[in-house]
Structure 1
Amino acid sequence: MECKPDNWRVYVPVRLTITIPLITAATPLSRGQMISAQDVTLSMVDLLRFRRQGFSTPENVIGAKIKKNIRVGDVIEQNDVCIVCRNESVVIRAGKSGMSITTKGTAMSDGVVGEQIKVKNDKSNRIIDAQVSGVGEVTVAF
């Protein structure tokens, strides 16, 4: 602080904390458990103490499967869940110019949103590359 007319200055120590909203566990979560809305909460987390990839909205994790045990209050990180899990059924979506096609498939590996994974089309038995777009859902370009 400073007062120029009286020519004095005071230095005040401050500690800045930058927080961001992230999804944390509201209940203990066990490996293999599917996340429900009651299992998670949005918490403000100190950015300096958290340097990994977390989730900012509950919709991104509800329905996902837990890969490891998570304690109450812990941030749910992207590597803690599989949005699309290996050997599980997924919806394959393809769309262009207002036209949309969906079919069922089987994920060949775990994946998080935005990641490219291999998916087996259950009708044709062809293995295709698809991008994870949501819980149990992948998108292909055609």
Structure 2
Amino acid sequence: MIRKRTVFMALVAASLWGAAAVAAEKTIELPVLTSPKAINDVITADDLVMQEFPSHRVKGDMLRDSTQIIGQAAKRQLLAGKPIRLIDLRREQLVQRGENVALIYRNGTLEITATGKAMESGALDDIIRVTNNNSNRTVDATITGPKQVEIRE
């Protein structure tokens, strides 16, 4: 949800002529972190609050909706209270290159599970190469969960 608000700030200078100066500043609410995040930390809803920024300081690549941020992982160190950009985030890596994964093959009611070695890292629904530890055959598999892949036909 994007909220825009115009804030009127008035500075009244009393003088002999009764002049007053009035300034208005438009603001936009953006989600920001409540505490710093390290590389690969996953951001949750509890990590975010909305904070107002002057609209002239809000750039087009700054994320305006917290749903775009929740569940993403930090690509770099992120600071609290600073706007978050899309390039600061990546999808959470559920499988890391070189780790053992559950390799699942399903065909109707038949399900075969083996152990494989991930040849690539990836996030949910990514297709990666996995080597079956028993046959040494390399297959393409879809990431379905943490350390879990499925062969789909």
When residues 18 and 28 of structure 1 are mapped into structure 2, their CA distance, relative to the original with a 3 A threshold, is closer
Superposition pairs of residues 51-130 of structure 1, within 5 angstroms: 54=68, 56=70, 68-71=76-79, 77-79=89-91, 81-130=92-141
1:96 to partner: Cα distance: 2.5
- The answer to whether the 8 Å contact 2:34/2:49 transfers is no
Report the count of equivalent residues. Answer: 112
Q: Deviations over 1:68-104 (max 9, x none)?
A: 445457688325x422111111111122323322111
In structure 2, list runs of 5 or more residues that go unmatched: 6-27, 52-59
Note the aligned Cα RMSD (angstroms). 4.0
Which protein has the larger Cα radius of gyration, Structure 1 or Structure 2?
2
Query: Greater strand percent: which structure?
Result: 2
- Once the two structures are aligned, what percentage of the paired residues are identical? 22
Q: What TM-score comes out, normalization by structure 2 length?
A: 0.51
Find the aligned partners of 1:77 and 1:127 in 2 and give their Cα distance: 30
Residue 120 of structure 1 aligns with an amino acid whose one-letter code is T
> 1:67 offset after TM fit, Å?
6.2
In structure 1, stretches of 5+ residues that fail to align are 1-13
Match 2:4 to one of 4, 10, 15: 15
- 1:66 deviation in Å? 7.2
Please report the TM-score for the alignment, with normalisation by the length of structure 1.
Answer: 0.55
SS at match of 2:123: coil
